[in-house]
Amino acid sequence: MEATLEAALADPSAADAVRSGRLTSALSYAGLGGIDLSDAVAVPSAASRPGQPSRGGQKPTAGRAEPTRQAAQRSAEAAGDTAESAVAQRKAREAERARQDLADADEAVDEARAALDEAERQVVIAGDEHKAVQREIEELEQRLDQAQQREATLARAVMDARRSRDAVARALQTAERRLARAQAKAKERA
């Protein structure tokens, strides 16, 4: 029914067919060209055509044609009201769908903004932690440099101490040899 009413709004000949009250099938409009009404409208019978003889060979009276016209007009008005009602309902559904789409889009934007705010917060937190770790690395590198300098100084001190020890050991050996010679001379003289 809705397709018929849309076709009636789109094509004046379809509107006339709806108003005639003689549709035998639904109409549809694809948006291009006119609407083929040949199979959709019943051909009026000879009795209801003005100026044509009826089966009895007599012309219909004006009194009989008038109620048929009034009935057709009432039917067309009802169809027009129904068409307007269907169009209004369709527009109301479309408007409600548009309102719902707008509400959904608005909600999606709010959710995306909240997600962006959270992501920004995480960026700040991660940035702060990164800076803290960089400072810690710099401090550890300074401590490592100091430890390496101390190690080098101590390595030199160890080498110097070993040289001194070796010199003292040589001096001890020399002194012991002198002592041994002196003791041997003292024994000889005694």
Question: Per-residue pLDDT tens for 139-148?
Answer: 999 999 999 9
- 4: which 2 tokens? 């018929």
| Chain mean position to CA 189 | 115
Q: Are 24 and 43 in contact (CB under 8 A)?
A: no
Per-residue pLDDT band for 182 (boundaries 50, 70, 90) equals very high
| Chain mean position to CA 126 | 25
Predicted local confidence at residue 59, as pLDDT? 45
Predicted local confidence at residue 21, as pLDDT? 75
DSSP-assigned letter for residue 59: P
Predicted local confidence at residue 54, as pLDDT? 40
Q: What are phi and psi of 103, to 5 degrees?
A: -65, -40
In DSSP terms, 23 is beta-bridged to 41
What distance separates the 2 farthest-apart alpha carbons in the chain? Answer: 189
Per-residue pLDDT band for 74 (boundaries 50, 70, 90) equals low
Question: Per-residue pLDDT tens for 106-136?
Answer: 999 999 999 999 999 999 999 999 999 999 9
Predicted local confidence at residue 87, as pLDDT? 78
Long-range contact set of residues 90-97: C-beta below 8 Å, sequence gap at least 24: 90/2
Question: Per-residue pLDDT tens for 36-65?
Answer: 676 666 665 433 344 444 444 444 444 444
Contacts of 60 (CB under 8 A, 6+ apart): 47, 48, 50, 54
Q: What is the average per-residue pLDDT within 93-116?
A: 94
Cα–Cα distance for residue pair 108/103, rounded to 1 Å:
9
Per-residue pLDDT band for 27 (boundaries 50, 70, 90) equals confident
Contacts of 71 (CB under 8 A, 6+ apart): 21
- Residue 166 scores a pLDDT above 80: yes
Q: Is the pTM of this model over 0.75?
A: no
> What are the b/e assignments for 105-137, b being 16+ CB within 10 Å?
eeeeeeeeeeeeeeeeeeeeeeeeeeeeeeeee
